[in-house]
C-alpha cells in the first residue's frame, strides 16, 4: 500500500497524516480519508475544530497531572473524594480505566510514564518529585501503586517506595488480580475494581 499511486496529492497527504496515528496503517488511513471525503463540510469542520481545540486548549491538572479543561481537574476539585488517598498511575488512560470501575473514591497522581532505561526514561522524566512532596507535606495517608504489572512498573514502584518508605504513610499495591505483564488499561473493570478494593501492603507483594 505504501507504493500505491494516489490519484490526488491531497489524498496522499491526508493518508500520510492519518497513518501517523498509533495503530493506523496505510489501508486504514485510506479508509479514513475516503470517509472524510463523503462527509458534509460542516461535519468535517467540527471534527477539525475538535482536534485543534484538544491540542491547543487542554490543560494538565497542576495537582495530579490528569488532563482537564481547567487548571485543576474535576476529580481534584471534588470535595466528596478522599484527598488523603492517592492512586499512582502511569498515564491518563489508567485514570479512565480505574474511574470506570466506580470502586475508587480517592484522587490520582499521574506519573507520565514508567522508569525504563531502554526507552530513555529515568526518574527525573516522571512526576515523582511532586508525589514525594505531597507525602513530605503530610497531605497523604495512603499511596496506592496502580502501575502495570511489568518489569518497568515494578521498577518504578520500588523506586518510589524507597523514596517515601520512611514517611508515616501507608503504601499499598493492587492485588494481583491484574496478571503479571498486563497493561492496566486493558484489564476488565470487574478484575481491576477488585484489585483496588483488595489492595495489599506493598511490602507483601511478591
pLDDT digits (tens, 9 = 90+) for 105-136: 999 999 999 999 999 999 999 999 999 999 99
- Domain holding 186, by residue range, is 73-204
pLDDT(2) > 50: no
pLDDT(161) > 80: yes
CA distances from 17 to 14, 22, 49, 66, 165 (A): 5, 11, 16, 27, 47
How high is the pLDDT of residue 168?
87
Residues of 71-110 as b/e, b for ≥16 C-beta within 10 angstroms? eebebbeeeebebebbbbbbbbebbebbeebeebebbbbb
CA distances from 105 to 34, 87, 99, 186, 197 (A): 44, 10, 9, 21, 11
Question: pLDDT band at 43, cuts 50/70/90?
Answer: very high
Residue 65 domain-assigned (yes or no): no
Cα 132 to Cα 143: distance, rounded to the nearest angstrom? 10
Same domain, 87 and 166: yes
In the DSSP assignment, the letter for residue 74 is H
Residue 67 domain-assigned (yes or no): no
Strands 142-145 and 82-89: parallel
How high is the pLDDT of residue 200?
73
Same domain, 33 and 135: no
Residue 66 domain-assigned (yes or no): no
Question: pLDDT band at 1, cuts 50/70/90?
Answer: very low
How high is the pLDDT of residue 7?
87
Kindly state the cell numbers that stand for 3. 507504493
Amino acid at each position: 500500500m505504501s507504493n500505491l499511486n494516489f490519484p490526488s496529492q491531497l489524498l496522499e497527504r491526508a493518508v500520510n497524516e492519518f497513518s501517523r496515528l498509533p495503530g493506523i496503517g496505510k489501508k486504514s488511513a485510506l479508509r479514513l480519508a475516503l470517509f472524510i471525503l463523503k462527509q458534509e463540510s460542516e461535519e468535517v469542520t467540527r471534527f477539525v475544530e475538535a482536534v485543534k481545540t484538544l491540542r491547543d486548549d487542554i490543560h494538565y491538572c497542576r495537582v495530579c497531572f490528569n488532563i482537564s479543561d481547567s487548571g485543576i481537574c474535576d476529580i481534584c476539585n471534588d470535595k466528596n473524594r478522599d484527598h488523603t488517598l492517592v492512586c499512582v498511575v502511569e498515564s491518563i488512560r489508567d485514570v479512565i480505566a480505574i474511574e470506570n470501575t466506580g470502586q475508587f473514591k480517592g484522587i490520582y497522581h499521574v506519573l507520565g510514564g514508567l522508569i525504563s532505561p531502554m526507552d530513555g526514561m529515568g526518574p527525573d522524566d516522571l512526576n515523582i518529585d511532586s508525589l514525594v512532596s505531597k507525602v513530605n507535606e503530610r497531605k497523604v495517608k495512603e499511596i496506592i501503586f496502580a502501575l502495570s504489572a511489568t518489569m518497568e512498573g515494578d521498577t518504578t514502584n520500588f523506586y518510589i517506595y524507597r523514596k517515601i518508605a520512611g514517611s508515616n504513610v501507608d503504601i499499598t499495591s493492587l492485588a494481583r488480580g491484574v496478571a503479571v505483564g498486563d497493561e492496566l488499561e486493558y484489564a476488565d473493570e470487574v478484575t481491576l475494581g477488585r484489585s483496588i478494593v483488595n489492595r495489599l501492603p506493598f511490602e507483601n507483594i511478591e
